[in-house]
Structure 1
Amino acid sequence: MARKLVNREDVYSIADALSAEGVTPSSTSIYKRLGQGSLSTITRYLRTWELERATDERLDAATNSVPSSIFSASSRLATKLWQTAREEADNTLSEQRRSLEEREAGWRQEIESAQALADQALEARAKAEEEAFEDRQKLESMQQAFSELMESYDSLAAERVRLRHKTETQGEKLATLQRDLAESERQSQERLWQNNQQVKELEALTSRAEQLDRQLRDAQNHLAKVSQHRDDLQQHADDLSQRLVACQDHSNQLEHEAKETKLTLAESQHAARAAEQASASNAAALQESQRSVARLEATLSHRDEALQEARAEKEELTTRLRDTEQAASELNGRLLAQQDQVRQLYRELGKCQRQLGLQDGDEGVD
């Protein structure tokens, strides 16, 4: 908002009042009484007032210096001559005063024009400051341009007395500032586009991180299942190993019993042959021995069958154990592959998290 201009009558009135109070008028005291205006304008009017007052005082002194004897002893002609001289002096003073007032009017008009330009510049500066305050958070790059604009406006406020000589120069400066402002706006648009691109990249990285996190959880669940299956196969292999050991022990026991049975059979056959050779009277004993041999042969046959069955079961258990060990080896390979995949997912997730951390740091700067 433009400041209210101060006219000559206001300055003269306050100067007369201060002089009547016995206080020497000054620009500062008059400015305090007015509460507005420009010190340079007040000073100019005060100097005019002092000049006029000094002229009036000199005229009064000249008038008062005429001796009273002249007025009492002079003739009407002397009085008329004195009045004519005074009128001529008044006319001369009026002419000088008119000339001074005309010059002062011209000065006042020029100063008012300069003041108007200065007020317009101040209004433009206030508007630019408001726009700078609104855009400061998004367009930090414009701070230097607005700082230069504020400095230019401050220099204009300090040198507003000489604005009539620098109007064209200030116009060029304003045009330059407008170009700088347009360039700053263009840069701000580019920065905004870059920020949008970074936001899109951040969203893509966030989506990739979430996808990797889901894949990691799925891989961990699958890894847990594979580990559980491997443990089950290992338990089954241990059970088969225990059964194979038991079968081996049973087979060894059957072989031992078969050897004992064969040994007993050989002894019985030997006893039978001895009995045949010894006496025919021992036919009953021979028959009994033969029946014993038959029973032993039957037992031996049964034990041979049991031994064959035990060997077949042993071979079957051995085959199943090999298959189980092969399946466990395959599961171990798959488990190692899953672990490698999990480590790879961890690395990718860490990379995404680092990239997300860097993206957050850049946004804080802008």
Structure 2
Amino acid sequence: MTNRTESPRILVAAHDPGGGNMLLPIITQLQRTNANVHLCAHGPSAQLWRAEGWSVSSSFETCESVFSFVEDFQPDLVLTGTSIAVGDGYRADLEIDFCQAAKDKEIPTAAGIDARMNLQARFTHTGTGALVVPDDLCAPDQWTRDQLAKEAWCTARIHTVGQPHLERVIKNIRESRNKIPSNARPLMVFFSEPVGLGITEEQHPGFTQYEVVKLLLHSLSGLAIDLLIQPHPLENSADWRTFLESVDISPPLQVDVSTQTTPALQTHADVIFGIGSIALIETAMAGIPTAALQPNRKHSVNPRIDAMSNIQKFYSRDGIEGAVRTFATTCTAPVSDPILAAEISHSCERFLSVIAAILRETCPHKPLQSPTAGSLELQS
């Protein structure tokens, strides 16, 4: 058995739900190795990880507290998610602070990118404007890798690992949907997101989530459908209830704000609508009819969705209501997008192999080992 003093010490940090979710299956696997793993999080990631029954340190209200923690723990690797700042008091700089603290101590740093958007912003400190790039970046797909490779600011080694959370969620949705009966009335879900939050005016797509839902309500007017609005974790459900009270809803269409979890909705929904949320990618790959509504957009909301063959896109305002209504009443289960399917295959193993390679390079006396397979090797 490996002596504990020879076990690698890995500090994992995240704030936003995208990064926290992406790292969740990685943490699960790391805890099955010889690694001494310590979790540090704020906000949505802290909630996600604690829901798994894990101990999470969250006393990081200041940059100094982060630097002090890194000095005390002395990790062999700092692994983070990435976040987008959205306002005062929002600790989206948490991962950047951990990365900088590690760099100051010459500790190796790595980060997982959960989506191909806002790449430079993920590493730009909102307080200082400093660009803090980890030593290694784990990209979700080849497109993101290529984009990063073109950027002069990106000094990191880039690895294409896929998206571990996405791969796991797709598998779980498929399995859970095989166990449920059909709905008496069609159930449709709109996955909302705070459009414009954390981006400049020049980057704004030119519409709000509320305007999109107004279009959706007009499109589904008079149909015998149950429509649930699923607020984003950064949205307030009360705001959506106030909005629904202000609009006309034509029976027998019934609309409400969801109180269910995203996995529960993905299990039971017949049709999914949204804007650019990763939830749309998950449901489309799981075989649920899925549509992205971005009327007369000025900019792409999610390039990954733009590239997917199995998500219906409604990007023009002209005729959108009739087109959406037709889609809602006639759509069939989409075929899995073959390019994305290949990109996310064995994501967790690929991500772990990068971590193992970093540790072999920087502290060869502390190899990452699994209980059954011994030292983990880098996969091609």
Check whether TM > 0.5. Answer: no
TM-score category (smaller protein): under 0.3
Structure with the larger helix share:
1
Q: TM-score, normalised by structure 2?
A: 0.18
Which structure is larger by alpha-carbon Rg, 1 or 2? 1
